[in-house]
């Protein structure tokens, strides 16, 4: 029934704050699906809750997708001829459809105030506004038409509720989960139109918009599965079943450890972002970490997210956006929630960082160096990157254990490479590497090497190798580790010839002289 229509999907967030990483994945799956079928991806803003509107959230969401490389075909800020795409600008449209339901007796007017309903819920256990209770409430079903008119005329606030007929098996055909059946008796008469702000609720706006915007597939989070039968019933009530979109409810993203879904607190606890971009809360002033600012590459975030809840099955996991579009299969998505494995996210970033030419690291690297008061050139910085990008970084985890991991961020570089730019402040003779490699006779040997280097004119890595190697064979001295102590201060860094070449003759000799003078061992 929908197969002959052009595929049209949408991502429709509420501008209530920064975009959660789970929302990013939902948008990504919509994007992959749309691209794969040559369809359209629509960006709709669902701002029917005026009380939760947060300024800046909409721009934040748009900027997030721009950064991630997820492109929309139409919608807020993208144009298109199915607009407006902001629900707050579609009041009149919704009003018309609510009136249609009302006049057909498929919806009714209810005067019960929120307070009265709260009261009712406290009094009766499991109170639900439905076929079993609506006859005892104040609504257009129990009141006479005259009374209703009078109440409205006298300014009483009212909502419009959907009149659900009980005892029906409602079926939702879900691409991921198969046929989901629920009895309409357990559904309540959902509010379709709110009294407070004259706007529809999500349910009504969603169905009307998806219909008018010719959406063919609704791909959204699993939290919507329980209300999907209600949506099916709404399509029926409007007579739109022949063009009803197909549903696909995605599994949720779960906490890295423990129970429940992924929350902002988990990010704080383990030190990973749950938002694509840094977010400054306009009300509280609180700042939340973003993937972009933490040094993640957009390709890495996309790749990682794509594989949370879906997998192409092959052995390759590092996949570009284009490859993901090729391979993606909505019906192969897993049904169970996926734990958020932020360690693997770091690994993906490591992979994509390594793919980048060193010169592309330097803008970010330069910022870090400048923060340390170091001036350098992109060329020299790129040299350091090339020498150090395969190293690992030591860090302290949340339990206080020393751990090692691959370089995953440009910012990992600094603690590993300060000796390129700064001489050792002092020589730590308690350092295992220093003790092992700087013996009583070492100073004299280093002096010999220094004398040799003083006469060397070719200070390139190759030149150094050509001059030093014959000397080591002649004398039997194995100078590299002690030389490393002199230039680095400990057992770190690249090949010694490369390092000395980078530092240059003057700096190399200066550091050696200093080490010969300073280090004393017994």
383 binds RNA (CB under 7 A): no
Q: Would you say 128 or 376 has its CB closer to RNA?
A: 128
Q: Would you say 252 or 382 has its CB closer to RNA?
A: 252
DSSP for residue 260: S
Min dist CB 112 to RNA, Å, is 6
- H-helix or E-strand containing 248? strand 246-250
295 binds RNA (CB under 7 A): no
Chain-centre distance of CA 210, in angstroms? Answer: 26
* Cβ-contact 214, 81 below 8 angstroms: no
Min dist CB 162 to RNA, Å, is 11
3-class state of residue 328 by DSSP:
coil
Widest CA span of the chain, in angstroms? 113
* Cβ-contact 345, 369 below 8 angstroms: no
Q: Would you say 72 or 304 has its CB closer to RNA?
A: 304
Looking at 72-80, 180-188, 367-375, 378-386, which segment touches RNA (CB under 7 A)?
180-188
Among 218, 226, 217, 245, smallest CA distance to 182 is for: 226
Residues in contact with RNA, total (CB under 7 A)?
84
266 binds RNA (CB under 7 A): no
From candidates 86, 391, 505, 514, binder to RNA by CB under 7 A = 391
Q: How far is CA 240 from CA 84, 170, 187, 227, 276, in A?
A: 21, 15, 20, 18, 37
From candidates 433, 445, 448, 505, binder to RNA by CB under 7 A = 433
Q: Would you say 285 or 430 has its CB closer to RNA?
A: 430
Q: Would you say 6 or 432 has its CB closer to RNA?
A: 432
Q: Binders of RNA among 344-373, rule CB under 7 A?
A: 344, 347
From candidates 58, 209, 222, 381, binder to RNA by CB under 7 A = 222
224 binds RNA (CB under 7 A): yes
From candidates 66, 405, 505, 514, binder to RNA by CB under 7 A = 405
For residue 451, give every residue at least 6 positions away whose Cβ sits within 8 Å of its Cβ, in sequence order, or none. none
Q: Binders of RNA among 243-262, rule CB under 7 A?
A: 251-252, 254, 259-261
424 binds RNA (CB under 7 A): no
428 binds RNA (CB under 7 A): no
C-alpha dihedral, 36 to 37 to 43 to 44, nearest 10°: -140
Active-site residue set: 264
Q: Binders of RNA among 299-338, rule CB under 7 A?
A: 307-311, 313, 315, 317, 332, 334-338
In whole angstroms, give the CA distance from residue 78 to residue 45: 12
Min dist CB 226 to RNA, Å, is 4
Strand order in the sheet with 191-193: 107-110, 159-162, 191-193
From candidates 212, 343, 359, 521, binder to RNA by CB under 7 A = 343
223 binds RNA (CB under 7 A): yes
In whole angstroms, give the CA distance from residue 170 to residue 176: 18
Q: Binders of RNA among 67-126, rule CB under 7 A?
A: 112-114, 117, 121, 126
From candidates 42, 218, 225, 450, binder to RNA by CB under 7 A = 225
In whole angstroms, give the CA distance from residue 380 to residue 375: 10
Neighbour tally for 343: CB within 10 Å:
11
Binding mask 226-245 for RNA (x = CB under 7 A): xx------------------
The phi-psi region of residue 38 (left if phi > 0; otherwise alpha if psi is between -120 and 50; otherwise beta) is left
Q: Binders of RNA among 466-505, rule CB under 7 A?
A: 478, 480-481, 483-484, 491-497
Q: Would you say 378 or 428 has its CB closer to RNA?
A: 428
CA atoms within 13 A on the CB side of 116: 11
32 binds RNA (CB under 7 A): no
Neighbour tally for 519: CB within 10 Å:
20
Q: Binders of RNA among 48-67, rule CB under 7 A?
A: 48-49, 52
* Cβ-contact 166, 138 below 8 angstroms: no
DSSP for residue 277: S
Among 211, 225, 209, 210, smallest CA distance to 176 is for: 225
Looking at 75-83, 191-199, 236-244, 269-277, which segment touches RNA (CB under 7 A)?
191-199
From candidates 406, 411, 429, 510, binder to RNA by CB under 7 A = 406
In whole angstroms, give the CA distance from residue 8 to residue 218: 9
Neighbour tally for 428: CB within 10 Å:
15
Q: Would you say 5 or 227 has its CB closer to RNA?
A: 227
Min dist CB 332 to RNA, Å, is 5
339 binds RNA (CB under 7 A): yes
From candidates 119, 124, 183, 447, binder to RNA by CB under 7 A = 183
Q: Would you say 280 or 344 has its CB closer to RNA?
A: 344
294 binds RNA (CB under 7 A): no
Q: Would you say 287 or 469 has its CB closer to RNA?
A: 469
Q: Would you say 171 or 520 has its CB closer to RNA?
A: 171
Looking at 268-276, 287-295, 342-350, 448-456, which segment touches RNA (CB under 7 A)?
342-350
3-class state of residue 222 by DSSP:
helix
From candidates 54, 151, 152, 180, binder to RNA by CB under 7 A = 180
Radius of gyration for the alpha carbons in the chain, expressed in angstroms and rounded: 33
CA atoms within 13 A on the CB side of 429: 9
């Amino acid at each position: 029934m929908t197969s002959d229509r052009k595929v049209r999907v949408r991502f429709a967030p509420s501008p209530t704050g920064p975009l959660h990483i789970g929302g990013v994945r939902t948008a990504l799956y919509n994007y992959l699906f749309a691209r794969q079928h040559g369809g359209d991806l629509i960006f709709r803003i669902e701002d029917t809750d005026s009380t939760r509107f947060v300024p800046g959230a909409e721009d934040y969401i748009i900027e997030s997708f721009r950064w991630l490389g997820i492109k929309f075909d139409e919608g807020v800020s993208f144009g298109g001829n199915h607009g407006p795409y902001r629900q707050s600008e579609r009041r009149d449209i919704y009003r018309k459809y609510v009136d249609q339901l009302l006049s057909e007796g498929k919806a009714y007017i209810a005067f019960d105030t929120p307070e009265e309903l709260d009261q009712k819920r406290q009094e009766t256990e499991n109170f639900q506004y439905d076929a079993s209770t609506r006859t005892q409430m104040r609504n257009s079903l129990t009141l006479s038409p005259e009374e209703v008119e009078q109440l409205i005329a006298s300014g009483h606030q009212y909502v419009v509720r959907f009149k659900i007929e009980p005892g029906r098996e409602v079926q939702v055909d879900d691409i991921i989960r198969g046929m989901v059946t629920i009895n309409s008796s357990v559904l309540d008469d959902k509010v379709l139109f709110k009294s407070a702000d004259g706007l529809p609720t999500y349910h009504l706006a969603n169905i009307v918009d998806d219909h008018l915007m010719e959406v063919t597939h609704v791909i959204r989070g699993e939290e919507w599965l329980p209300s999907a039968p209600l949506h099916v019933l709404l399509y029926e009530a409007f007579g739109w079943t022949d063009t009803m979109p197909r549903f696909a409810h995605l599994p949720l993203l779960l906490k890295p450890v423990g129970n429940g879904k992924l929350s902002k607190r988990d990010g704080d606890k383990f030190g990973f972002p749950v938002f694509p971009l840094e977010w400054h809360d306009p009300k509280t002033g609180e700042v939340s970490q973003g993937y972009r600012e933490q040094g993640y590459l957009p390709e890495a975030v996309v790749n990682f997210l794509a594989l949370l809840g879906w997998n192409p099955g092959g052995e390759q996991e590092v996949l570009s956006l284009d490859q993901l579009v090729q391979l993606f299969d909505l019906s192969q998505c897993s049904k169970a929630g996926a734990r958020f494995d932020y360690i693997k996210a770091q690994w993906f970033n490591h992979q994509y960082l390594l793919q980048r030419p060193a010169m592309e690291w330097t803008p970010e690297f330069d910022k870090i160096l400048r923060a340390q008061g170091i001036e350098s050139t992109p060329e020299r910085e790129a040299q350091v990157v090339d020498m150090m990008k395969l190293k690992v970084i030591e860090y302290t985890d949340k339990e206080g254990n020393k751990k090692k991991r691959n370089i995953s961020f440009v910012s990992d570089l600094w603690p590993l490479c300060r000796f390129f730019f700064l001489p050792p402040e002092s020589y730590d003779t308690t350092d295992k590497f220093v003790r092992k490699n700087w013996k009583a006779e070492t100073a004299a040997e280093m002096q010999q090497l220094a004398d040799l280097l003083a006469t060397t004119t070719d200070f390139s890595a190759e030149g150094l190798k050509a001059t030093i190697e014959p000397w080591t064979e002649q004398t039997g001295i194995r100078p590299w580790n002690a030389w490393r102590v002199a230039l680095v201060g400990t057992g770190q860094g690249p090949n010694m010839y490369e390092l000395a070449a980078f530092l240059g003759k003057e700096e190399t000799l200066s550091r050696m002289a200093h080490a010969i003078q300073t280090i004393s061992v017994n």
